[in-house]
């Protein structure tokens, strides 16, 4: 196959098919070898492309396949919950896919432009560094969409050992080095093939060694936790004529027998009536929690003195603190160009789409003697956001409402992302969702216990606070970014100059 003579259209089709199989590497399928094979196929196509323009088109085809399959779940929100007709919902979803695909396309153009004439440098320096740098770019450009990073697919492999050292980006780098080495094995001389084989063994061997090491350790004290999954449909919370009564009927009833646990979590917007209007009910919950020496943390909405809405969570009883969601989701938590778009279609009028971002610096939530990092829904997808707020926290809590995505892959991918945050930080992650998947995640990123989707249940468990710091939390992303920039810019410029001279 590697010596086949193919035209640019055949290469484009191969690239698109390679991108379409990549989402199978992630949850719920977990076919992790696809995360190595799929990029390797694209790398082979880019090797075959003779111009930067052809690499751009191949990358675009790959991105359309990758995101067209992998994030198609946004259609559920737009059509089923946004009350948008199918053709328009398909159009909006397609526009998102095209924008995301342009990242891969631009990546191909840049890579082909800078790395010419040296297969080994192209595969082992340019390809991994360029891909991961574009993953990082996608995490913040246009507010960010950090989904389908290659590293998330490796939670159960030795490559996950890189996560506490270099975060998910380091795992992605190890995946791509493996992909590049595979192509080198197939198209290079015997001596270079031996070096490629050694590189693969080295990458996976170091990963295995790191996987065995514990950077953090549990404190002796064991805490009890109850995570309450109410299984209320997203719109039902906001259309009820008696929101407090509905909340009490669901979450209050499920919690009746759980008072006395150290920590009780209700999911995002469990109480749909905003503060201060719901204050009498919160005062009642405060008394219940305090009398049982429990901390209840619940998702709420808050209207402040400036008439600004916040998507928030609050600690009651033995706990203290309130957190306002900082990283808002475009079209979900807020509507860009609100003046022009509001009211055009149902999707632009979703409940909870007029929030104001919370302050950058907010105190940790306390629960008894515990200090907890709070994250709401989408925020768990941003490793730097968590790292910046982690400080000396004992554990991580995240409240979410994944019901907007129905039975799609979205909630499974979201949970997989939360697992990576636990592994990166060496902390327990306690995840309460409205309709699933509620989970307790240990510091190795393993699911200790879960509640399946669409069940109204309480997840009972225990957890330890953790001490110690992973290298990732201590040093952050800049060491890896510096290495990636060096691996891309310096060899790329050198090869480009040599090409021009020749």
Q: Active site residue: 325, 401, 416, 424, which one?
A: 325
Q: Active site residue: 48, 112, 237, 377, which one?
A: 377
* Bridge partners (DSSP) listed for residue 315: 297
Q: Which residue has the tokens 């891309």?
A: 488
Residue 89 contacts residue 82 (beta carbons within 8 Å): yes
Distance of CA 181 to the CA centre of its chain: 27
Compute, in degrees rounded to 10, the torsion defined by CA atoms 336, 432, 157, 213: 110
DSSP code at position 437: -
Concerning whether 325 is annotated as a catalytic residue, the answer is yes
The DSSP code sequence of 317-364 is ETEE-EEE--SPPBTTTB-TTHHHHTTSSGGGG-TT-SB-PPPSS-PP
* Bridge partners (DSSP) listed for residue 295: 263, 317
Q: Active site residue: 135, 258, 268, 424, which one?
A: 268
* Bridge partners (DSSP) listed for residue 93: none
Residue 84 contacts residue 69 (beta carbons within 8 Å): no
Dihedral (CA of 210, 152, 484, 476) sign = negative
* Bridge partners (DSSP) listed for residue 450: 439
Q: Which residue has the tokens 């992630």?
A: 26
**Residues with Cβ within 8 Å of residue 245, at least 6 apart in sequence:** none
CA distances from 184 to 46, 58, 119, 132, 498 (A): 13, 20, 8, 19, 22
* Bridge partners (DSSP) listed for residue 313: 299, 323
Length of the chain in terms of residues written: 502
Residue 97 contacts residue 67 (beta carbons within 8 Å): yes
Q: Among all residues, which ones are annotated catalytic? A: 268, 325, 377
């Amino acid at each position: 196959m590697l010596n086949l003579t193919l035209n640019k259209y055949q290469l484009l089709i191969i690239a698109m098919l390679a991108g379409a199989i990549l989402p199978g590497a992630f949850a719920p399928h977990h076919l992790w070898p696809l995360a190595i094979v799929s990029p390797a196929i694209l790398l082979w196509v880019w090797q075959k492309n003779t111009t930067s323009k052809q690499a751009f088109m191949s990358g675009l085809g790959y991105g359309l396949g990758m995101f067209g399959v992998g994030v198609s779940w946004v259609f559920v929100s737009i059509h089923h919950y946004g009350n948008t007709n199918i053709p328009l919902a398909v159009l909006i979803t397609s526009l998102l896919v095209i924008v995301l695909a342009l990242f891969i396309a631009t990546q191909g153009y840049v890579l082909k432009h800078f790395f010419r004439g040296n297969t080994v440098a192209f595969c082992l320096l340019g390809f991994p560094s360029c891909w991961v740098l574009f993953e990082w770019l996608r995490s913040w450009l246009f507010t960010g969409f950090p989904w389908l990073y290659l590293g998330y697919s490796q939670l159960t492999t030795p490559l996950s050992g890189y996560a506490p050292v270099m975060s998910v980006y380091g795992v992605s780098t190890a995946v791509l080095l493996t992909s590049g080495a595979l192509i080198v094995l197939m198209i290079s001389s015997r001596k270079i093939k031996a070096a490629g084989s050694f590189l693969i063994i080295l990458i996976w061997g170091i990963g295995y060694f790191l996987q065995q090491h514990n950077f953090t350790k549990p404190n002796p004290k064991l805490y009890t936790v109850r995570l309450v999954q109410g299984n209320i449909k997203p719109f039902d919370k906001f259309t009820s004529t008696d929101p407090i009564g509905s909340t009490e009927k669901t979450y209050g009833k499920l919690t009746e027998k759980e008072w006395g646990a150290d920590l009780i979590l209700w999911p995002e917007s469990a109480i749909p009536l905003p503060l201060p209007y719901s204050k009498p009910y919160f005062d009642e919950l405060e008394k219940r929690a305090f009398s049982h020496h429990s901390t209840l943390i619940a998702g709420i909405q808050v209207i402040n003195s400036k008439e600004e809405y916040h998507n928030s969570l609050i600690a009651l009883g033995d706990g203290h603190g309130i957190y306002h969601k900082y990283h808002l989701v475009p079209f979900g938590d807020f509507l860009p160009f609100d003046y022009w778009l509001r009211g055009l279609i149902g999707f632009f009028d979703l409940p909870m789409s007029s929030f104001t971002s919370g302050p950058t610096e907010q105190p940790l939530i306390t629960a008894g003697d515990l200090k907890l990092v709070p994250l709401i829904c989408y925020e768990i997808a941003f490793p730097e956001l968590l790292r910046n707020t982690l400080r000396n926290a004992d554990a991580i809590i995240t409240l979410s409402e994944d019901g907007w995505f129905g039975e799609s892959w979205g909630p499974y991918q979201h949970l997989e992302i939360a697992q990576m945050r636990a592994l990166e930080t060496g902390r327990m992650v306690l995840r309460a969702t409205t309709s699933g998947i509620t989970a307790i995640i240990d510091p190795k990123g393993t699911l200790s216990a879960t509640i399946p989707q669409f069940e109204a249940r309480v997840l009972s468990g225990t957890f330890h606070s953790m001490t110690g710091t992973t290298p990732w939390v201590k040093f952050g992303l800049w060491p890896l970014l510096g290495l990636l920039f060096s691996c891309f810019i310096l060899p790329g410029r050198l090869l480009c100059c040599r090409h021009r001279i020749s």
